[in-house]
Structure 1
Amino acid sequence: MAASVLCRRVPRLHQLPGLSKDSTLAQVLRSKVREADDLKGCKGEPHQWEASLPAQHGLYYISRSYSVCNFASFCNQAEKGVCPSTPAPSLWQQGNRYSVNGLRYLSSSSNARLESAFNKDSESPLPSESLINGQPVKIDARAFQRCRPEYASITVDLAQRPHPVEWQKVMPLLQKVGVLKGGMKPSDISQLFVQLSHLESNKMPLLKGHKHFIMLVQYTGEHLGRFTNLQLIEVLRSLVWLEIPGAHPALRRYDAELCFRVGQMSLHQLLLTADLWRCIGRQVPQFLESLYSVIHLHHRGLMEVAELVQLLYIMGEGRKFPMELRHPVEQLLLLHLDKLHPEEIGAVFLALFKSQTLISEHAVTCVVEKACSYVGDMSNLAIVNVLKYLRFSHLHHETWLENMAQEVPRRVHGMGVQGLMHVALAFSALHWQNDQILMAIAERVPSVAVHCRSKDSSKLLWAFGNFGFLPDQSPSFYPSLIEALRQRKEEFLKYPAHLLSGLLGLIFVSQFPEDLIALALSPDFVSIALQCTDFDLKKDLFTVDGAVALELPQWTGPQLSCELREELWKLAMSDVCQKVEVLEAESLLCDLLGGEKFVCKRMILPHTRSIDLEVHLDASGQPLPVNPASNTHTLQDSPVPSHPEWGRRNVGVTISDELFAQLTTKNRTRPFSSPAPVNKHTVHMEEPDEGWRKFDTRLFFGNDNKDLARRLYRQESKRPIKLAIQVSNRNQFCYRSRQLMGLHSMKRRQLKLAGYQVVELHFWEWFPLLRKSRTEKRAYLHCKIYNSLY
């Protein structure tokens, strides 16, 4: 009887005032609501009013307006183009718009869409999955939450699922929903959700498609304002176990209500709510922004270790670290440093990495030093997280990196593909080469390459190619990853950068898989790559195309269009280097060789992305005017030099016995014909010390140089000698090493293929010389140029 009365209290649409003459208004309203929802998506924006689910029912939810008005007045205002606030009824019975009989009038398509929304696979954010020995292995990024009991009140332990109950025990609960209907109190509803969340997992789709469950969710969303904070959090916790998809539109109402309540919640409630949203898999940027604001104003000084680490975890998963919290969080991190457990250190670094947040070098160093004391007890995931952040911050913590030389080879067979990739990528980004680590990863990769994503394969290839890891060092390494790329070609349509990164890594070590190159240079792929908004891939395309043209002369496959190549060429040639060390070398070379026409500062190979100083010499060693468009010059075409100190012949410097005696005799104090005295020490070049800080500007010339120069000078060859003079810097080399990184090593190789001799002004020689006299610098450049001729 009660149910019958309750049903009659809600008039049907055709009985409502204002709709009796024309029922199309409701359809218009529904259409506008659907359009608005489509535009807004599920981003969690707060609204003055929102459509409840399903939208076709014309039911509206207001997050915090509780005054009384009737539905007819709403329709009258809506007819005039006004969207008023629709309050919840003052009595529970008045709020009952959902009854079993009422559901009969819902369209089958609406029910189908609603059921589909409930049963949609959620974005399972945790845990991530890797593969070890071909078997999927769960990597729990939330393992740190089990380090101390304090996390129990601010997080959800996903490993502690409620004890499952059978479907037969859930049916009475659903029937209870049908009986109570609008008479349900918030306490009843929260308890029902808790009990229903115990249902065994394989029966969840059956539950979410049941009409009484749909009615329960709709009714709860309509009256969220009547729930206490604890009751609302309990319902949200139940939604985690009920596996409600994060994108489900019903969750917009929960998001709006919780955003409104942020200022009324305790620190633990705020952190727990944020964690529940994370477990559901829904992005709630406005809630997080409100949470950070409240913490900054009221709670930042109250956080203990668990609260601090959990806050950082939330920031990392939300991909945002508020500027106003950086300093307070850094202070708290240093304050609680001695209390951090190994897995908490890993969680801290992962959060900073995901939120792309740079804290002070001092703070990073302190935390890494703490990690060094725990390195043997840290999980593989925690170690990888530390390396991720060191890669992002470009910080060389030598103790940690040296420890990895022992830890990585020991752990490599227990690491999945993604872990291997991140380790290799971190060392590559830091330019820290360690043969033990590289060999351990290279021997491991072929057994797991079949499970590589295109991202994993491409970044492994890039990292190893960047180190110049040769194919014969591990014969199966490169072939296994090349095959892995071939198996993932469809992913390149969505992630074109992956193919180009992998190919560049291969080209660095002279590997040219022609089928993948043909794909990368095909018009369709080039079009996709040029439309990529995440990265500018033009330079990568240009580098691949230019390398193929130089190193595969037999290539008949696709190439970049003439128009695109011309555009990229002009862009590269317009890049003017303004580095002091390059400008100084250019100026001195002009003085040395007789004028600006003998030195050309340009990208000799534009696809290699760096500028050199080009100099042409004839067979006798005398400079020729540099015309990049033509390499055919004769000695007669060369003008007379204007510099008084150099040469009495047509141009350049005459290599005479007196000149070499001045350069090579230990007791001579005057170089060339200059009257200015120079250093009286022995002329030689000193090796850079371990820290690259103590350099000497002294030069070394072998005893046989004079005879070699004479023989070269007497040669009658008329072919000009093309020199590419490079001013190097430390970023081009492996850390504390003279080994060039991949792109620069490739450039040297290709310059030689193009007919150039490379003359390098090593930064450990040239940079200290910048503080010396012009005479010493000219002497250095002279010897560099003419020593390169033999």
Structure 2
Amino acid sequence: MAARVLHRRVPRLCFLPGLRPDVTVAQQLHDQAEVVFDKQEKKEKKRSHEASPHRGYKLCYNPSAYQRSVRKMAPARSQRDTDEDDLCLSTLAPPFWQQSGVSSSHYTVSCSRHLSSTNNTLLDLAFNKAPRPKMPSRPRHQREPLPAELRFDNRAFLKSRPEYASTSLDLTRRPREPRWEEVSLLLHNVTVLKSSMTPSDVTRFLVELSHLHPGKMLAVRSDHRFLMLLRYSVENLRHFTDLQLLEVLRAFVWLELPKDSTVLEQYEAELSQRIGGMTLPQMLLAADLWRCIGKRAPKFLLGLYDSVSLHLGQIETHELVQLLYIIGEGRHCPTKLIMPLEKLLMRHLPKLVPEEVGTVSLALFKSSTSMSESAVTRIVDKAVSYVEEMSDVAIVNVFKLMRFSYLAHIAWIQAMEREVPRRAPDMGVAGLMHVTLACSALHFRNERILSAVAERVPSLLPHCRNKDTGKLLWAFGMMRFLPMQSPSFYPSLTDNLRQKKAEFKRNPEHFLTGLLGLAFVSQFPEDLLALALSPESVNIAMEFKKMDLKKDLFTLDGAVALELPDWTGPRLEACLREEMADTLWKLAQSDVCLKPAVLEAERALQDLLGGEEFVRKRMILPHTRSIDLEVHIDSSGKPVPVASAASGSVTAPLKNSLPTSPPHQGWDRGNLGVSITDNLLAQLTNHKRTSPPSSPSPTLPVPTPLHTVEPEESGKLFTRVNLTDIIPRQSSVGDAAVKLAIQVSNRNHYCYHSQQLLGLYAMKRRHLKLAGYTVVELGHHEWFPLLKKSKAERLAYLRCQVYDVLN
């Protein structure tokens, strides 16, 4: 009879959407719940062998509704990886990066897609947990522990000051577990008191239940009396005091309620209404508890940010760090708070300890909070003074801040030249990935750092995510770390891509990132390229919502076309190549083509060579995402027109500039032509005509003027030959003009304080040579200073650059 009553009451307990079971109808209580309850009752209460009164009835329940996703019991329990970064390196620099003078200007279309640095790796995964298990219901105490070198504490800063106890929850100190008879009596009291429970009763019951061992939590959350307790807590929310609400919220952390529970939504709404009457420590504690639960609580955070501005004058060091931590985990800092927080941070900076510096750096990075260059420099200066005391997590956090801010801090890199090789053997793969990714973004190429990482990574492949593999390959490729420098590095990561290629559908950006990194150093795994360029994979990449992957596909396709002339695998459709070429050219016309250094180089070359028709500004190879000034010089050293004066110097790019046949075959479609006649052939080949010349003069006849004609039916059209220059020199048909690709480089094409090109630009030069061009560079360290000097000096410099390559 009792069983029937229980069975009939359960549906009435499930009117709340967050409590309503929606998956299974069990014939009995969950096996685990039955075993735990029965054994504990028999053992601790020493009951007789009577059958449990709860057996035999049917109970609707859904254990997974209150079971958290798998994560460590460690401090970062509610965090998960949402990065990106996405971005191999951000193309959006803060204002101070652009204020270093003309030499910092960019003259290429973005060298990489934007992989978001705002949704960056939460450090529970940044330091290399093994891949997440597939069994979310596995009890936490039964999970295999992480290897020692992969453990970390994302909330380690909370241990640096005792004051944090009032504003945060210490997840490493679990409350004392109660005796089972106490828990059993408590659950019995819930059915006795029912709606007569006071807020104090509800708070006490939830707090005591939260002290249970994690292995017993599933049994408690499956019990109908626990669901009843949650129901009554929601019905009486308005009667709870602020302290009681915080105590219940703390209990929810240990009880591991799911972050999307309707119960939590009700609590967030109640706390949001009370923010005005709460103290700053209480608000910070509530925000930290939401973080521990894993719920973003946007309404509450918005109220917190509005209220905290009233307390900025009295805020203490630990409260500031805690606030920044919350802002970082919330991924947003209100604009009105940035300047006050910067001033406050600079005032408290001397008091920060090593882990707090790391936490502040990560918070600014995650929330995309752009502080002034001087402020970021002071933060990194502080980190340098602590570098030997900082944890690996804190060091990676500083790297992330530098990557986001594009801050070139030499003292930090010099310190890392010592620290990274020393720490690398104990670091995890994701932490190492962020170190090298930051170096790549900042163009810091340090052999000791790269070699230490390359030596460590192959041993960490079991813990290497698709994201780690792709970004490591990109970073090392951009820094032009050659395969011969570490024989096992590229092969091991390439094999890892093969093992994870099934993840392409979920994360195509990481797969393409890795293949581009390999292409930068002339590594072309044909099986993976065939997969990436297959119609199915291209469709997946085109439909990807997080970011635009068309440019990556276009660059990869162009590299395959030029570097694998015998390639018989899939290629991008011609229409897509044309679309991307047009898109990139339009972008270049509105940006790169208008840069003062490029415009002056174009004008000066026109003056030097004799007119607009001898200089063509265009993307010779659109897949390399940058422009060139194209010039043709014949064997006598005279310029050859490459564009008609009527069309202007800025012309559309070739629709299909990537040849599928060897580069020396064929010419582009925009060339001039003249009809081939017997007389003209005789002149070109220096042969006598069959009929005697009209004059015995030994001089060559005057050539026919150059003109453009439509192709004849016979197809006799000779292209790209300036006959007025060639014939007087008695040149043959086989003599062709030297094609020059003149590049206006800038310092961002090179590694920091180095003449070593970054991977993309080195690949471009390689491809231009394959396409039959000779590269002429107007180096930024030479050309930019000449912009302030006389025209004669610029022309003299250009003459040397252009004609020296012909000798």
Within 1, Cα distance between the matches of 2:705 and 2:772?
A: 22
Q: Give SS of 1:128's match.
A: helix
TM-score (norm 1): 0.76
Q: How does 1:164-203 map to 2 (within 5 A)?
A: 164-203=177-216
Is contact 1:465–1:742 with CA below 8 Å preserved after alignment?
yes
Structure 2 match to 1:629:
669
Structure 1 match to 2:700:
none
Within 1, Cα distance between the matches of 2:265 and 2:276?
A: 19
2:791 is the counterpart of 1:774: yes
Match of 1:143 among 145, 156, 176: 156
Within 1, Cα distance between the matches of 2:602 and 2:732?
A: 28
Within 2, Cα distance between the matches of 1:289 and 1:595?
A: 62
2:65 is the counterpart of 1:117: yes
Is contact 2:380–2:398 with CA below 8 Å preserved after alignment?
yes
Is contact 1:619–1:717 with CA below 8 Å preserved after alignment?
no
Give the deviation of 1:630 after TM superposition: 6.1
Give the deviation of 1:293 after TM superposition: 0.1
Is contact 2:176–2:211 with CA below 8 Å preserved after alignment?
yes
Structure 1 residues 170, 55: CA separation in 2 closer, same or farther (over 3 Å shift)? closer
Within 2, Cα distance between the matches of 1:638 and 1:611?
A: 32
Within 2, Cα distance between the matches of 1:594 and 1:401?
A: 48
Structure 2 match to 1:61:
none
Is contact 2:317–2:351 with CA below 8 Å preserved after alignment?
yes
2:124 is the counterpart of 1:128: yes
Note the alpha carbon deviations across 1:727-779, whole angstroms, 9 max, x for none. 10111011111111111000000100111000000011111111222222111
Give the deviation of 1:182 after TM superposition: 1.5
Is contact 1:638–1:651 with CA below 8 Å preserved after alignment?
no
Q: Give SS of 2:774's match.
A: strand
Is contact 1:122–1:244 with CA below 8 Å preserved after alignment?
no
Is contact 2:210–2:255 with CA below 8 Å preserved after alignment?
yes
Structure 1 residues 198, 295: CA separation in 2 closer, same or farther (over 3 Å shift)? same
Within 2, Cα distance between the matches of 1:284 and 1:274?
A: 8
Structure 2 match to 1:762:
779
Match of 1:54 among 20, 28, 32: 20
Q: Give SS of 1:364's match.
A: helix
Structure 2 match to 1:590:
606
Structure 2 match to 1:476:
488
TM-score (norm 2): 0.74
Within 2, Cα distance between the matches of 1:427 and 1:191?
A: 52
Q: Give SS of 1:759's match.
A: strand
Within 2, Cα distance between the matches of 1:415 and 1:637?
A: 74
Structure 1 residues 737, 228: CA separation in 2 closer, same or farther (over 3 Å shift)? same
Structure 1 match to 2:649:
none
Structure 1 match to 2:597:
581
Note the alpha carbon deviations across 1:508-538, whole angstroms, 9 max, x for none. 0000011111111111111111122222111
Is contact 1:500–1:541 with CA below 8 Å preserved after alignment?
yes
Within 1, Cα distance between the matches of 2:497 and 2:180?
A: 46
Give the deviation of 1:366 after TM superposition: 1.2
Within 2, Cα distance between the matches of 1:608 and 1:744?
A: 8
2:492 is the counterpart of 1:490: no
Give the partner amino acid of 1:279.
C
Within 2, Cα distance between the matches of 1:285 and 1:443?
A: 43
Within 2, Cα distance between the matches of 1:384 and 1:525?
A: 34
Give the deviation of 1:460 after TM superposition: 0.5
Is contact 2:207–2:251 with CA below 8 Å preserved after alignment?
yes
Structure 1 match to 2:747:
730
Within 1, Cα distance between the matches of 2:431 and 2:533?
A: 31
Match of 2:544 among 532, 541, 544: 532
Structure 2 match to 1:519:
531
Within 1, Cα distance between the matches of 2:178 and 2:599?
A: 77
Note the alpha carbon deviations across 1:709-730, whole angstroms, 9 max, x for none. xxx9999961221110001011
Structure 1 match to 2:42:
none
Give the deviation of 1:352 after TM superposition: 0.4
Give the deviation of 1:132 after TM superposition: 8.8
Note the alpha carbon deviations across 1:641-675, whole angstroms, 9 max, x for none. xxxxxxxx9679x9xxxxxxxxxxxxxxxxxxxxx
Structure 1 match to 2:228:
215
Give the deviation of 1:55 after TM superposition: 9.6
Give the deviation of 1:589 after TM superposition: 1.1
Q: How does 1:556-575 map to 2 (within 5 A)?
A: 556-574=568-586, 575=588
2:620 is the counterpart of 1:604: yes
More off after superposition, 134-143 vs 451-460: 134-143
Structure 1 residues 624, 122: CA separation in 2 closer, same or farther (over 3 Å shift)? same
Note the alpha carbon deviations across 1:686-716, whole angstroms, 9 max, x for none. xxxxxxxxxxxxxxxxxxxxxxxxxx99999
2:325 is the counterpart of 1:313: yes
Give the partner amino acid of 1:473.
Q
Is contact 2:128–2:464 with CA below 8 Å preserved after alignment?
no
Is contact 1:620–1:713 with CA below 8 Å preserved after alignment?
no
Structure number with greater CO (CA < 8 Å, separation at least 6) is 2
Give the partner amino acid of 1:535.
M
Note the alpha carbon deviations across 1:298-320, whole angstroms, 9 max, x for none. 21111111100000000000001
Give the deviation of 1:125 after TM superposition: 2.1
Q: Give SS of 1:483's match.
A: helix
Is contact 1:225–1:257 with CA below 8 Å preserved after alignment?
yes
Give the deviation of 1:602 after TM superposition: 0.4
Is contact 1:342–1:377 with CA below 8 Å preserved after alignment?
yes
Give the deviation of 1:593 after TM superposition: 1.2
Structure 1 residues 572, 331: CA separation in 2 closer, same or farther (over 3 Å shift)? closer
Is contact 1:621–1:713 with CA below 8 Å preserved after alignment?
no
Q: Give SS of 1:310's match.
A: helix
How many residues are matched?
630
Q: How does 1:339-738 map to 2 (within 5 A)?
A: 339-574=351-586, 575-576=588-589, 577-626=593-642, 628-629=668-669, 718-738=735-755
More off after superposition, 626-635 vs 516-525: 626-635
Structure 1 residues 639, 780: CA separation in 2 closer, same or farther (over 3 Å shift)? farther
Identity percentage over the alignment?
54
Gaps of 5+ in 1: 14-29, 34-49, 57-103, 641-648, 655-711
Structure 1 residues 618, 637: CA separation in 2 closer, same or farther (over 3 Å shift)? farther
Within 1, Cα distance between the matches of 2:753 and 2:401?
A: 21
Query: What's the RMSD between the two structures over aligned residues?
Result: 2.8
Structure 1 match to 2:112:
none
Note the alpha carbon deviations across 1:550-596, whole angstroms, 9 max, x for none. 00011111111122112112223333211111111111111211211
Is contact 1:122–1:243 with CA below 8 Å preserved after alignment?
no
Within 1, Cα distance between the matches of 2:625 and 2:615?
A: 19
Within 1, Cα distance between the matches of 2:456 and 2:532?
A: 28
Match of 1:229 among 242, 247, 252: 242
Within 2, Cα distance between the matches of 1:614 and 1:637?
A: 26
More off after superposition, 619-628 vs 754-763: 619-628
Give the partner amino acid of 1:723.
L
Within 1, Cα distance between the matches of 2:376 and 2:614?
A: 49
Structure 1 residues 404, 748: CA separation in 2 closer, same or farther (over 3 Å shift)? same
